[in-house]
Structure 1
């Protein structure tokens, strides 16, 4: 499972386009968004780099969480 911290995902209106962008890369992915924690979790067989690029292109770049 992949997990990404998305600081600018601040509401459910942000989460839906983010999910759609991720599903465009892997329609079979299982995606869970946690808006209060600003996390997205993806169950997929694809590489992390694929999703990092998609998140950045969609305007939701991942930022590592320090201390975790």
Structure 2
């Protein structure tokens, strides 16, 4: 499971665009979005770095992970 904070996710269009990008990258991925918290949880075999690229290319770059 990969957890991302997506500061630019603010509306239903954003959710739809992110969902489409995730499904295009991995049709088997399980996605949970929380628009109010601006977070995404992606359960997928793809590595985190691949998801950073997918989300960034879709226009929703993840915030840097904090420890």
TM (normalized to structure 1)? 0.90
- Structure 1 residue 9 displacement after superposition: 0.2
Runs of 4 or more off by more than 3 Å in structure 1? Answer: none
Can you give the 5+ residue segments of structure 1 that lack an aligned partner in the other structure?
A: none
Q: Report Cα offsets for 1:6-43 as digits up to 9, x if no partner.
A: 00100122111111101111000000100000001001
> Does the residue aligned with 1:17 lie in a helix, a strand or coil?
helix
What is the root-mean-square deviation of aligned Cα atoms in Å?
A: 1.2
TM-score if structure 2 supplies the norm length?
A: 0.91
How far off its partner does 1:53 sit? 0.4
Aligned pairs for 1:17-32 within 5 A: 17-32=17-32
Task: Count residues in correspondence.
Answer: 67
